[in-house]
Amino acid sequence: MAVKKNTVVMLTAVLAMLLVFGVTSGFIMAVKKKKKSEEAAGLKSILFVGDSFTAGSPNYSYSYIIKNTLTDNVVDIVAMSSQKTDWMLANLQSQLAQKHYDRVYIWGRDQ
């Protein structure tokens, strides 16, 4: 039974990673495709808010991949593993009180 449980956990992790990379790739392609029109609209700053999927690590999470790709933009990340939406809301409000963002993306869940 333990082998089956470990297999399910591993498959779930692999599927989650594929989802994150798919979302990241799609986002980057969309941003690059629309870059000229967004520059005309004045897109300069982006905020990502979330839990462990957003916090991740600098080389692997979608938010850091996007931040490292959009070097001409200000990209801030407010995220922490194991945090719920009430934490995200409080920190989002605090961050927005300090700074204006052209786009805000939130990815989280309540457990």
- 6-26 pLDDT, tens per residue? 777 666 766 666 666 666 766
Q: Distance between CA 55 and CA 46 in Å, rounded?
A: 15
Nearest-angstrom CA–CA distance, 76 and 49: 9
How many domains, the chain? 1
Angle between helical axes of 2-41 and 62-69 (0-180°, round to 10): 30
Give bridge partners of residue 104 from the DSSP assignment.
47
- Give the model's confidence band at 47: pLDDT under 50 very low, under 70 low, under 90 confident, else very high: very high
Distance CA 75, CA 70 (A): 8
Question: What is the extent of the structural domain holding 81?
Answer: 2-107
Tokens of 57: 């690590």
Q: Residues 78, 104: contact at Cβ < 8 Å?
A: no
pTM, 2 dp: 0.63
68-89 tens-digit pLDDT:
888 888 999 999 888 888 899 9
Q: Which helix (H) or strand (E) holds 5?
A: helix 2-41
